[in-house]
Amino acid sequence: MAKHDLREYRDKRRSSNTSEPMGDASASEPSGDASTTGKRGKAEEPVFVIQRHEATNLHFDFRLEIDGVLVSWAVPKGPSLDPSTKRLAHRTEDHPLDYADFEGRIGEGYGAGTVIVWDTGTFANATEIDGDSVSASQGLDDGHLVVDLHGEKLSGAFALTQTKLNGDPANWLLVKVDDSGADRRRKPTSTQNESVLSGRGNDDI
């Protein structure tokens, strides 16, 4: 099982030019369970967050709380509610849990631009491999995750599958599962651009 480590996250950032939380030098050891205790108190459902990031190119950062960190993917076009639409999701470095409510401006350097919390909530792990339920940690290692989101803009199950497109193991696909949360007509990433926490848009940061 992969060990999550925040050193890559910290190495890419300088606290002097960003208000992003730095987190600890290394994350806790994996527990094998997506739910966490500790900072957030009693065991709770794990959180997800999708941040709208206007950097060199606009994209949406899709993050899931797994084993004490936010496991992260950059989704250039953002999540789609249409099950027939596949979205490229590029795996990036793990982020600290306190990044889940980060909104602000990142100064010159890595990730320069503005960030808002486009959607957030909790999720339930619904991953199965060969018909057997597996933990989110195991699904991540095996390259296939299904998560049932309970957010303000998004609900229902989404599948993340590692494709290694163009030979890059960081390339995954994000697809909406065809359930009650699917909607082939609604396009929230282009019509709902405000933060669910502050009501601000990126231009207001």
Q: What is the b/e burial string over 48-67, where b = at least 16 CB atoms within 10 angstroms of the residue's CB?
A: bbbbbbbeeeebbbbbbbbb
Q: Is residue 27 part of a domain?
A: no
Q: Is residue 2 part of a domain?
A: no
Q: Is residue 34 part of a domain?
A: no
pLDDT beyond 80 at 41: no
Name the band, by pLDDT with cuts 50, 70 and 90, for residue 39: very low
pLDDT beyond 80 at 24: no
Alpha-carbon dihedral angle through residues 200, 76, 178, 35, given to the nearest 10 degrees = -70
Helix (H) or strand (E) holding 128: strand 128-129
Name the band, by pLDDT with cuts 50, 70 and 90, for residue 204: very high
Q: Is residue 36 part of a domain?
A: no
Number of structural domains (the chain) is 1
Q: Is residue 35 part of a domain?
A: no
Q: Is residue 174 part of a domain?
A: yes
Helix (H) or strand (E) holding 146: strand 144-151
pLDDT beyond 60 at 1: no
Question: Would you state the pLDDT for residue 27?
Answer: 44
Name the more confident of 24 and 95.
Answer: 95
Q: Is residue 37 part of a domain?
A: no
Name the band, by pLDDT with cuts 50, 70 and 90, for residue 2: low
Q: Which domain holds residue 64?
A: 7-22+44-204
Q: Is 116 exposed, middle or buried (0-12, 13-18, 19+ CB in 10 A)?
A: buried
Tell me the average pLDDT across 8-24: 81
Mean residue pLDDT of the chain comes to 89
Q: Is residue 32 part of a domain?
A: no
